[in-house]
Amino acid sequence: MAAVKYINNDLHLESTPITQLAKAVGTPFYCYSSQILETNFADYKLHFGAEPNLICYAVKSNSNQAIISRLAALGAGADVVSEGELRRALLAGIPASKIVFSGVGKTAQEIEFALSQNILQFNVESEPELELINRLALDRGTRAPVAFRINPDIDADTHAKISTGKAGDKFGIPWADAEKSYAKAASLAGIHVQGVDMHIGSQLTNLDPLERALRRMATLTANLKTKGHTISVLDIGGGLGIPYDKGMSVPGIEDYAALTKKVLGPFNCRIIVEPGRSLVGEAGFLITRVTHVKECDHRNMLIVDAGMNDLIRPSFYDAYHEIIPVTLTHADEKSYQIVGPVCETADTFGRNRVIQTQTAGDLIAIKSAGAYGAVMSSTYNTRPLAAEILVEGDHFRIIRPRQSYDELIGLDSPDSPWQISS
Ligand code: LLP
């Protein structure tokens, strides 16, 4: 991507040298390209179409306020899965009328808050949840706009931990129960049924499972219409993959949109799509510095100052992230195990990675870390949350400073008063 290139041997994000960012905030840190983010969003808008269709950014993929407000300014809606995410989206300027609320475990408090804000749609995943929403809506004297998330029982052909549309997964209403759930919803005075929703998984690298799921959605929609239900919204979820590995090919946003139009176009419904990774994944990098180079049983270990607490994807999903030097020295290449400082063998970013010979103090960039990177970080091993930076041309903005030790340790309250429990 043109927004990421070496200029005079130094890796630049847009026109900003990464070495300058490291000087400003130290390491490790995340940095994001506004240009890549905006180009990806423009692609979604171009191919899925603006109003009445809606691109609801999956806030869970990267919930920094600066990223959400960038997308808000471009007209994005939001897909949220907690009160926290809903509050973030609203604060970032996304109107409630463009927010859908997904998730299997919405609590009464979260539903009440969402009702008080008049959000666009609840994506309902079970009958008990439907009944709770109905009761809370009636208490407020209102009707909750609802779509059922249907589990189409399709194997999404992705990592088992991020596949969500197979029978037996915790998500959605089982395919066989779908029509029954719609019939029930139609009888509830606090519910306004408006749509059908699905999301079969993430990092989808081929369109076949999506096509099968969309066809099931089309069948259901046709049946529901025949039975007299008014369906005006079809929410197809997110899930489009990105090429983590240089050699990998993934479907484009254009193909994804064309497929959706082909299968769902005849219904003349508003289409909602909930992309996360495909908007923000390739826009982000995790930059880390080599702390030590150590030889271990004939292996070269590159020990860096980012850990699995900063980016958990490689240890949690065995995910591959390309790793490149920040400054090219044209030294010979060597094969390395690239590992963090956390006290677990899982704390490994890459095995047998051939890159230019490294020495302590060198900077390396872990690519495609914009989605499910910073948001999944923790302070394990009492390591402060990394800084985050947004780049635009030759400007940058620190959108989250590195957490200080005082902030981190200060969260504990060891001297709070004892309370009587009975
Ligand atoms: N909509 C719903 C209801 C979702 O559950 C998700 C992601 C999305 C949309 C956005 O999916 P995307 O376009 O980003 O694929 N932490 C994992 C990914 C978990 C995805 C969870 N749901 C990872 O690092 O691969």
Q: What is the DSSP string of 135-161?
A: HHHHHTT--EEEEEEEE------S-GG
Predicted TM-score (pTM) above 0.95: yes
The atom of ligand 1 lying closest to the CA of 204 is 15
Which of 159, 161, 274 to probe ligand 1 with, by most ligand atoms within 8 A of CB? Answer: 274
Distance CA 308, CA 194 (A): 42
Phi and psi at 419, nearest 5°, equal -120, 150
Structure tokens that stand for 26 in this block = 């130290």
Structure tokens that stand for 288 in this block = 């880390």
* In contact, 289 and 304? CB cutoff 8 Å: yes
pLDDT, position 1: 54
Distance CA 40, CA 277 (A): 10
Distance CA 104, CA 106 (A): 6
pLDDT, position 302: 97
Looking at ligand 1, which residue's alpha carbon is closest to its atom 19? 162
pLDDT, position 158: 78
Distance CA 61, CA 169 (A): 21
Q: Quote the ligand 1 centre to 301 CA distance (angstroms).
A: 32
Structure tokens that stand for 418 in this block = 């004892």
pLDDT, position 2: 84
* In contact, 325 and 356? CB cutoff 8 Å: yes
* In contact, 78 and 97? CB cutoff 8 Å: no
Structure tokens that stand for 213 in this block = 């799921």
Q: Which CATH number fits domain 34-281: 3.30.200.20, 1.10.1200.10, 3.40.50.970, 3.20.20.10?
A: 3.20.20.10
Q: Quote the ligand 1 centre to 276 CA distance (angstroms).
A: 6
Q: Quote the ligand 1 centre to 248 CA distance (angstroms).
A: 20
CATH 2.40.37.10 fits 4-31+282-409, yes or no: yes
Which of 200, 202, 274 to probe ligand 1 with, by most ligand atoms within 8 A of CB? Answer: 202
Strand partners, 56: 77
Q: What are the pocket residues of ligand 1 if the criterion is a CB atom closer than 6 Å to any ligand atom? A: 58, 61, 79, 102, 162, 199, 202-203, 237-240, 274-278, 313, 317, 371-372
Catalytic positions, please?
A: 343
Name 344's Cβ contacts closer than 8 Å, sequence gap at least 6: 308, 315
The atom of ligand 1 lying closest to the CA of 123 is 3
Give the three-class secondary structure for 407: helix
Structure tokens that stand for 325 in this block = 């030097």
Q: Quote the ligand 1 centre to 58 CA distance (angstroms).
A: 7
Neighbours of 248 (CB within 10 A): 11
Chain region(s) in the chain for CATH 3.20.20.10: 34-281
Structure tokens that stand for 10 in this block = 């130094």
pLDDT, position 344: 95
Name 301's Cβ contacts closer than 8 Å, sequence gap at least 6: 292, 293, 294, 295, 336, 337, 339
Q: Quote the ligand 1 centre to 372 CA distance (angstroms).
A: 8
DSSP notation for 229-247: ----EEE----B----STT
pLDDT tens sequence for the chain (422 residues): 589 999 999 999 999 999 999 999 999 999 999 999 999 999 999 999 888 999 999 999 999 999 999 999 999 999 999 999 999 999 999 999 999 999 999 999 999 999 999 999 999 999 999 999 999 999 999 999 999 999 988 887 778 877 777 888 888 999 999 999 999 999 999 999 999 999 999 999 999 999 999 999 999 999 999 999 999 999 999 999 999 998 899 999 999 999 999 999 999 999 999 999 999 999 999 999 999 999 888 889 999 999 999 999 999 999 999 999 999 998 999 999 999 999 999 999 999 999 999 999 999 999 999 999 999 999 999 999 999 999 999 999 999 999 999 999 999 999 999 999 98
Structure tokens that stand for 247 in this block = 């050699």
Strand partners, 300: 295, 336
Looking at ligand 1, which residue's alpha carbon is closest to its atom 7? 202
Chain region(s) in the chain for CATH 2.40.37.10: 4-31+282-409
Write out the E strands in 39-136.
54-58, 77-80, 99-101, 121-124
Distance CA 195, CA 210 (A): 18
